[in-house]
Amino acid sequence: MTTYYTKSHEWIRVDGDQATVGITTHASEELGELVFVEAKDEGTEVAAGDAAAVVESVKAASDIYAPVAGTLAGFNEALSDDPTLVGRDAEGEGWIFRMTVSNPDDLKGLLTAEQYKSL
Amino acid sequence: MSDSLQRTPLYDLNLELGAKMVPFAGFEMPIQFPAGLMAEHLHTREKAGLFDVSHMGQIRIAAKSGDVKDAAAALETLVPADYVGLAAGRQRYGLLTNDEGGILDDLMVANMGHDLLVVVNAGCKVQDADRIEKALSDRCVVTRQFDRGLMALQGPAAEAALAPLCPAVKDMRFMDVIETELAGVKVTVSRSGYTGEDGFEIGCAGADSEKVARAILAQPDVLPIGLGARDSLRLEAGLCLYGNDIDVTTTPVEASLGWAIQKARREGGSREGGYPGAEVVLKQTRDGVSRKRVGLLAEGRAPVRAGAKLFADAEGQKEIGVVTSGAFGPSVKAPVAMGYVASDHAALDTPVFAELRGKYVPLHVRAMPFVAPGFKR
**d(Cα B375, Cα B107) in Å, to the nearest integer?**
19
Strands B177-182 and B149-154: unpaired
**Is some CB atom of chain B closer than 8 A to the CB atom of A58?**
yes
B305 vs chain A: nearest CA distance in angstroms?
A: 8
Q: Whole domain around residue A46: which residue ranges?
A: 2-117
Sign of CA dihedral B182, B124, B33, B298: positive
- Over residues B140-179, the pLDDT tens digits come to 999 999 999 999 999 999 999 999 999 999 999 999 999 9
- The count of domains in chain A is 1
- Over residues A51-108, the pLDDT tens digits come to 999 999 988 899 999 999 999 999 999 999 999 999 999 999 999 999 999 999 999 9
User: A57 and B302 in contact by Cβ < 8 A?
Assistant: no
- Sequence-separated (6 or more) residues with CB below 8 Å from residue B112: B60, B68, B88, B89, B177, B179, B188
| Residue closest to B149 by CA, chosen among B239, B199, B214, B92 | B214
Q: What is the mean pLDDT of chain B?
A: 97
DSSP for B107-156 reads EEEEE-SSSEEEEE-GGGHHHHHHHHHHHHTTTEEEEE-TTSEEEEEEST
Amino acid at A50: D
The pLDDT value recorded for residue B2 is: 52
The domain that holds A69 is classified in CATH as 2.40.50.100
Report the residue from B301, B328, B357 with minimal CB separation from A58.
Answer: B328
Span B346-363, average pLDDT: 96
Q: What is the mean pLDDT of chain A?
A: 96
Burial of A60 (0-12, 13-18, 19+ CB in 10 A): middle
B279 vs chain A: nearest CA distance in angstroms?
A: 38
**d(Cα B100, Cα B278) in Å, to the nearest integer?**
8
- Over residues B219-255, the pLDDT tens digits come to 999 999 999 999 999 999 999 999 999 999 999 999 9
What CATH number belongs to B258-366? 2.40.30.110
Report the residue from A32, A54, A58 with minimal CB separation from B327.
Answer: A58
**d(Cα B218, Cα B213) in Å, to the nearest integer?**
9
CATH superfamily placement of domain B11-54+148-236: Probable tRNA modification gtpase trme; domain 1 (3.30.1360.120)
Chain A residues with beta carbon closer than 8 angstroms to that of B227: none
- Over residues B31-85, the pLDDT tens digits come to 999 999 999 999 999 999 999 999 999 999 999 999 999 999 999 999 999 999 9
Strands B222-225 and B48-52: parallel
Q: Domains of chain B: which residue ranges?
A: 11-54+148-236, 258-366
